């Protein structure tokens, strides 16, 4: 019988490089067992037992950019709590607790000369990010690819289409459960059946043994009415933080995500104040104290940092970076349904002709990093949906406004050498300044179906990628990518590196993202040292096709 598992202490050793030793104290049937173990030894035990329980994640390469003292404390405390929880699970399970390897783990010490150095055992403050990357390559082949995050939002209405128990959690490092909302009394509220769905999601994730972390997301478009009020006074902030902490502890969650759209901005019509952003920082600081270093605190934000009291984006958000794990740049809804449709999620202002050049992956990344938010704490938001426009256009204009000489020639349909749809430009338009982005340039002549797809019922609305496929306007090919179908013509916009469909007879244009454009954006995130990518939303995928394309492009 296990009475207690405690990992309250740690020490450091210097050979062969500075590393952390966790002091494990276990009371088994009145017998005290003590051992000092490295994090990597827990990983080895987990692999040997092949147990379904979760270890705190590998994260050295995504923490070396944070001020060193905070990193050491945060990483060590996170691991103490997580490793103790892991051992408690092991020792509470008859299948594992009586195995000889477990007893040996709790009673013997590993000789330093027999212990191979593992980068994850190191003290972050002893390594610069450059040095960590070099050691990763030299010591154990670990690369930044292994730390890239693949995440997604799981809305509470997704349970019918994608029951929690059916999710392949191996493709998701983070899942954001959306949404709870702030209340008029500075608490938080869940929708009908949301709590039951959240419990199922947490249970399914833990049962999977994949290490997927479940985070509660607050707000969402239309759900931000009481954010400003909840953050406005010390008393309200105290109640708000307490309500959040209670929810996290009650439902065994891994953190909280703020989807406030937007501080000091009317958004969907909610009240706002010039003090919103300053108050938000106070809430984040209080949450970090309340939740400790083990829990994730993140925020979904626009392409530019939050607005200050003067109504302009903040120029220094380093104080936010000190207490947040991540900010996700919502690189979507850049251009909705329109008679002159434009891209939903441009990767950049690739033709130099955008009327809102910051509204892209490239622009958002530059805006946040210029404001001193570390690249490695930024997630790139990716859409698994598009917009259907009533339009006769056969080129995208909208936010990118191609000049006359950039207009597309539709004289000949073809497929590029890489299999992507291409579109001839008279001149220019290639994304040469963005690493790993291939901007094709011609209209696709991929396979079509004889049945006509009709999307007129979606005019002026969003459409999930899976519904474009279901309607028959796209067809999945043998290589896992998609081609035109149902009377629609598939084309590519070089200015945004995104596909679109049009049917002139139906006066319908569909702007969306597919395997190619999403992979390009994931490669952009990876090549720029970002933390990873997160999609809105998991239920809009065609199975897991788009998520797998993102996952692969991140190098996972």
Q: How is the chain split into domains, by residue range?
A: 2-140, 145-386+517-553, 390-511
The CA distance from 476 to 348, in Å, is 27
Beta strand 378-383 with 532-536: parallel, antiparallel or unpaired?
A: parallel
**What confidence tier does 157 reach under pLDDT thresholds 50, 70, 90?**
very high
Question: What does the pLDDT average to over 242-268?
Answer: 96
CATH number of 145-386+517-553: 3.20.20.80
Q: What is Dmax (Cα atoms) for the chain?
A: 83
CA quadruple 104, 108, 109, 110: dihedral sign: negative
Average pLDDT estimate for 109-119: 57
Reduced to 3 states (helix: H, G, I; strand: E, B; else coil), residue 59 is: coil
What's the pLDDT tens digit per position in 412-470?
A: 233 343 444 433 222 222 222 333 333 333 333 333 445 799 999 999 999 999 999 99
CATH superfamily of 2-140: Phox-like domain (3.30.1520.10)
Residue 407 has a pLDDT of: 33
Q: Which are the contacts of 338, defined by CB distance < 8 A and separation ≥ 6?
A: 389, 391, 398
Q: Is 38 exposed, middle or buried (0-12, 13-18, 19+ CB in 10 A)?
A: buried
* Gyration radius (Cα) of the chain, Å: 25
Query: Does residue 160 register a pLDDT over 50?
Result: yes
Per the listing, tokens 């202490």 go with 9
386 closest CA partner among 440, 345, 418 = 345
Q: How many CB atoms lie within 10 A of CB 69?
A: 10
Whether residue 94 has pLDDT greater than 80? yes
Helical ranges in 335-406 per DSSP H: 361-370
How many CA within 13 A on the CB side of residue 51?
25
Cα of 338 vs its chain's centroid, Å: 29
Per-residue pLDDT, averaged over 274-280, amounts to 98
């Amino acid at each position: 019988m296990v009475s207690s598992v405690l990992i309250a202490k740690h020490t450091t050793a210097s050979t062969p490089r500075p590393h952390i030793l966790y002091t494990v104290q276990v009371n088994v049937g009145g017998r005290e067992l003590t051992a000092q173990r490295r994090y990597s030894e827990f990983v080895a035990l987990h692999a040997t037992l092949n147990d379904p329980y979760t270890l705190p994640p590998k994260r050295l390469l995504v923490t070396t950019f944070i001020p060193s003292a905070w990193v050491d404390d945060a990483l060590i405390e996170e691991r103490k709590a997580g490793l103790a929880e892991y051992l408690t699970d092991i020792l509470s399970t008859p299948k594992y607790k009586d195995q000889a390897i477990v007893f040996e783990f709790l009673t013997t010490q590993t000789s330093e000369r027999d212990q191979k150095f593992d980068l994850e055992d190191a003290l972050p403050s002893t390594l610069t990010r450059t040095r960590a990357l070099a050691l990763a390559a030299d010591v154990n082949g670990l690369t930044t690819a292994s730390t890239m995050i693949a995440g997604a939002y799981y809305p509470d209405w997704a349970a019918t289409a994608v029951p929690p128990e059916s999710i392949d959690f191996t493709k998701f490092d983070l899942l954001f459960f959306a949404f709870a909302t702030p209340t008029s009394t500075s608490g938080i509220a869940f929708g009908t059946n949301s709590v039951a769905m959240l419990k199922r999601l947490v249970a399914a994730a833990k049962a999977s043994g994949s290490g997927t972390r479940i985070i509660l997301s607050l707000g969402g478009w239309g759900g931000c009415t009481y954010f400003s009020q909840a953050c406005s006074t010390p008393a309200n902030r105290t109640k708000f933080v307490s309500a959040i902490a209670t929810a996290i502890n009650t439902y065994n969650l891994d953190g909280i995500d703020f989807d406030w759209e937007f501080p000091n901005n009317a958004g969907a019509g909610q009240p706002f104040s010039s003090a919103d952003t300053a108050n938000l920082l106070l809430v984040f600081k209080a949450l970090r104290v309340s939740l400790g270093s083990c829990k994730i605190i993140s925020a979904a934000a626009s392409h530019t940092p939050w607005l200050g009291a003067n109504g302009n984006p903040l120029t220094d958000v380093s104080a936010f970076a000190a207490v947040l794990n991540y900010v996700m740049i919502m690189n979507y809804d850049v251009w909705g349904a329109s008679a002159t449709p434009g891209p939903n999620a441009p990767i950049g202002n690739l033709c130099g002709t955008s009327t809102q050049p910051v509204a892209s992956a490239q622009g958002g990344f530059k805006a946040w990093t210029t404001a001193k938010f570390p690249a490695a704490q930024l997630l790139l938001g990716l859409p698994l949906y598009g917009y259907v426009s009533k339009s006769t256009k056969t080129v995208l204009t909208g936010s990118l406004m191609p000049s006359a000489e950039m207009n597309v020639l539709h004289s000949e349909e073809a497929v590029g050498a890489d299999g992507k749809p291409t579109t001839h430009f008279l001149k220019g338009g290639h994304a040469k300044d963005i690493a790993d982005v291939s901007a094709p340039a011609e209209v696709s002549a991929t396979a079509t179906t004889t049945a006509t797809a009709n999307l007129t019922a979606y005019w002026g609305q969003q459409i999930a990628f899976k519904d474009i496929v279901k309607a028959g306007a796209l067809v999945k090919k043998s290589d896992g990518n998609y081609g035109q179908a149902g009377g629609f013509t598939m084309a590519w916009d070089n200015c945004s590196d995104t596909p679109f469909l049009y049917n002139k007879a139906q006066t319908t244009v569909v702007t969306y993202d597919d395997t190619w454009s999403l992979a390009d954006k994931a490669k952009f995130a990876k090549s720029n040292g970002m933390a990873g990518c997160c999609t809105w939303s998991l239920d809009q995928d065609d199975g897991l096709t788009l998520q797998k394309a993102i996952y692969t492009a991140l190098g996972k």
